[in-house]
Structure 1
Amino acid sequence: MKNALTIFILIFLLSLYIFFMIMMQPEYLFQGLEYDVRVVNGFTSNSSLPLVIWCSSKDQNLGGRALQEGDDFSWSLKANFWGTAHFLCTIKWDQKRKSFDAFWVHRDSHRCGPLRRCFWLVKEDGFYFSNDETNWKKEFAWI
């Protein structure tokens, strides 16, 4: 009888721990899942100046590209065991330069949607986010 009570208490405590992790830190449920990130040059009049982008994480340098109007820079990533997947991009256009978190698992595990797709549209007036490429929300301006 004493062994059964001990096992019951251990199972109960483990269940409480799992419940707490799910409720308080849901991003841990998404560890190991793959996410797709895409940054698109949404300028309507680039003239001859491309949008230049460089992206990297602590563990991986994705390099850079010059994006003409409508071009994109895309990559896939797998959220790591510790839930610290984080990609920073720097974008330059003419004299403007902006660095931003293109992917951060703590922020994006939910907002990238069930298909785990994270889209950025860079326009003359700022940076827009979407998880379906239809509904865009302005996240921030260049300045």
Structure 2
Amino acid sequence: MPRELQSIQLGCNSRYKDNGMHQLHVGEDYQFGVEEKALHFCEAISGRQIASWHAYQPRRDWNHKAVFWQVKENGFFLSWDNSSWVRKSIWQTE
């Protein structure tokens, strides 16, 4: 998470499991396990900015050992190898 952002409140869930909300600060990681056949979604809040995205989509992610997400000031980026990143969602203002 870049220094320009305040800490974020992050919640990642599926219809089967509620992982609760977590406060993350710059440089911190958050990990959670998934049910491989279930869609998992995340919601984030930082100050007046909010975002939501599909963190794990079975059709997109099933054949990857890990799914990485990076939070930046200009959005949320997906990687399967932790080095090549593609923006999948952006921040919205309340």
In the superposition, the TM-score normalised over structure 1's length comes to: 0.59
Summarize the alignment of residues 89-108 of structure 1 with structure 2, pairs less than 5 Å apart: 89-108=42-61
Q: Which structure: larger Rg?
A: 1
Is 1:127 the equivalent of 2:76?
yes
Determine which of 114, 117, 124 is the counterpart of 2:66: 117
Deviating 4+ runs (over 2 angstroms): none
Does the CA contact (< 8 Å) of 1:50 and 1:69 recur in 2? yes
Cα RMSD, aligned residues only: 1.4
Unaligned runs of 5+ in 2: none
SS at match of 1:65: strand
Is 1:88 the equivalent of 2:88?
no
Unaligned runs of 5+ in 1: 1-41
Point out the structure with the larger helix share: 1
In the superposition, the TM-score normalised over structure 2's length comes to: 0.86
1:89-138 deviation line (CA, Å, top 9, x unaligned): 1001110111111111122224xx3xx10000010011111111111122
Equivalent AA in structure 1 for residue 8 of structure 2: L
SS at match of 1:107: helix
Matched length: 92
